[in-house]
Amino acid sequence: MIELFTADTPNGKKISIMLEEIGYEYKVTKVDLGNNDQFKEEFIKISPFSKIPVITDHENNKSIFESGAILMYLGEKSGKFYDQSDRLKINQWLMAQMGTIGPMIGQHHQFHHYNPGKSEFGEERYFKITKRIYQELDSRLNVSDFLASEKYTIADIATWPWIARHEWHDIGLKNFKNLSRWYSDISKREAVIKGYQFMNKKDLPPQP
């Protein structure tokens, strides 16, 4: 059984979606970020940077931190969404999410959604970067059904929850037809809906 230590964030949703996709039994242990649970000594033992998500695989008593590493671990363990033949491309698009898409869109959330009016420079900078990310993803999805290949992989699972906050971005997902198609197709997957709802059964992925 997998224990998922997490909160209701895009990074958290990556792992609940993956666990639903591969059909593994899992238990959710909520980490209350507002209450600073992530800085408690027992959590730091399994997450040295005090970040969610983390999983503990009780089958072999291993804990894994960093969402990209968790997706790779679960992909290898299950043999799903991480094909050996496509692994180099999958890794590249997964690292693009980890190093660029998530951090940059996350900064857009901070300046534009959570703290509007506090930094005109920050709001403008991360709005422009996020819009460029939309354009770059749209260009990629013009030549490929999914990010890494013609098949759905952990790279898509990692990226989709960040685009699922498109209503926060005020960029207009509908203006990007290929990205909208990709987002909409993934949002209809039963496992994605269940993983999205892992903390609130009333939540549904926002429409494009």
CA end-to-end span of the chain:
35
Q: How far apart are CA 49 and CA 27, in angstroms?
A: 22
- Inter-CA distances, 171 with 108, 111, 126, 128, 156, Å: 11, 14, 12, 9, 20
Confidence of residue 32 (pLDDT cuts 50, 70, 90): very high
Confidence of residue 13 (pLDDT cuts 50, 70, 90): very high
- In this prediction, residue 202 carries a pLDDT of 84
Asked whether residue 52 carries a pLDDT value surpassing 90, the answer given is yes
pLDDT (tens digit, 9 = 90+) per residue, 174-198?
A: 999 999 999 999 999 999 999 999 9
Q: All domains of the chain, ordered by start, with CATH?
A: 2-81 (3.40.30.10), 84-189 (1.20.1050.10)
Q: Once rounded to an integer, what is the mean pLDDT over residues 33-57?
A: 96
Q: What is the CA radius of gyration of the chain?
A: 17
- In this prediction, residue 201 carries a pLDDT of 82
- In this prediction, residue 10 carries a pLDDT of 96
Tokens 């930094």 belong to 119
Asked whether residue 139 carries a pLDDT value surpassing 90, the answer given is yes
Asked whether residue 200 carries a pLDDT value surpassing 90, the answer given is no
- Cβ within 8 Å of residue 126, ≥6 positions away: 104, 105, 107, 108, 110, 111, 112
Per the prediction, the chain carries an average pLDDT of: 96
- Inter-CA distances, 97 with 27, 73, 145, Å: 26, 17, 17
Nearest to 16 by CA among 80, 90, 57, 71: 71
Confidence of residue 199 (pLDDT cuts 50, 70, 90): confident
- In this prediction, residue 203 carries a pLDDT of 87
